[in-house]
Amino acid sequence: MSNSYKNKFYFVQLLTCVRIPLILVFLAVNLFADKPLSQLWFTIAFTAMILSAVTDLFDGYFARRFQVVSRMGAYMDPLTDKVFYLTTFPTLVYLAGLAGQYRHAGLLLGLAILFLMRDQWVSFLRSIGALYAVDAKANWSGKARTIISFPAICTIYYYLQAPQHWWLQLHPIIIYTVEIASMIINLVSIWVYTAYYWPWLKKELRPPNGPSGPE
């Protein structure tokens, strides 16, 4: 195995794993820094969040380009995604509530629950499919959800925490539109995955063959 191959392999693994410490930096700033965040703390948290999201797009790209796709990477990628979502969604709900935006916090809570329930449902469907050796790769709805979710979360955070004196201030209508679009893509993804796995799910919903008759 050449050193060049090893370097490429470790580079891709680093891109995948660095998402977790980056998003923990984001979490720490929002939990412990004084509110409202200073320009410095907001910049640190927002940059860490964006970098954490961006690495999700590039680790797969470089893995394919360098031909260093690994089983470890295949397992680590969804794990780091879940850490990102499990960290950011509750933080957004917390920040909206802290700002007195209680209806907005409720909407974010609904989005968070829908988002996480979708993940658990798809994992359940894949486990059913695994019983029949069904290909468990992501389909277009899962990829569209990822493409929408990362920028949506970053946009919502910017709306909640960006310093008031910055020239770019987002209108609430933009934020609500982003959140509703995120809900819709999650519902679509649930429907698409359910339709795909339905033949095998239906088999498992049938009662097992019982005894043929009384002994």
Q: What is the mean pLDDT of the chain?
A: 86
Could you tell me if residue 212 is inside a domain?
no
Q: How far is the C-alpha of 84 from the C-alpha of 66, rounded, in Å? A: 25
Alpha-carbon 122 to chain mean position: 13
Could you tell me if residue 213 is inside a domain?
no
Could you tell me if residue 188 is inside a domain?
yes
Q: How far is the C-alpha of 205 from the C-alpha of 210, rounded, in Å? A: 14
State how many domains the chain has: 1
Q: Answer yes or no: are the C-beta atoms of 113 and 177 closer than 8 Å.
A: no
Helix (H) or strand (E) segment spanning residue 45: helix 39-66
- Longest CA–CA span in the chain (Å) reads 82
Question: Among 92, 97, 80, 149, which Cα is nearest to 118's?
Answer: 149
Could you tell me if residue 182 is inside a domain?
yes
Could you tell me if residue 215 is inside a domain?
no
Q: Which pLDDT score, from 0 to 100, does residue 113 have?
A: 95
Q: Which pLDDT score, from 0 to 100, does residue 1 have?
A: 58
Could you tell me if residue 211 is inside a domain?
no
Q: Answer yes or no: are the C-beta atoms of 23 and 46 closer than 8 Å.
A: no
- Give pLDDT tens digits for 24-81: 999 999 999 998 899 999 999 999 999 988 887 776 666 677 666 666 666 677 788 8
- Give pLDDT tens digits for 138-158: 788 888 888 888 899 999 999
Q: Which pLDDT score, from 0 to 100, does residue 108 have?
A: 96
- pTM of this structure: 0.85
Could you tell me if residue 110 is inside a domain?
yes
Could you tell me if residue 209 is inside a domain?
no
Q: What is the CATH number of the domain that holds 127?
A: 1.20.120.1760
Question: Which range of residues forms the domain containing residue 101?
Answer: 3-203
Say whether pLDDT at 101 is over 60: yes
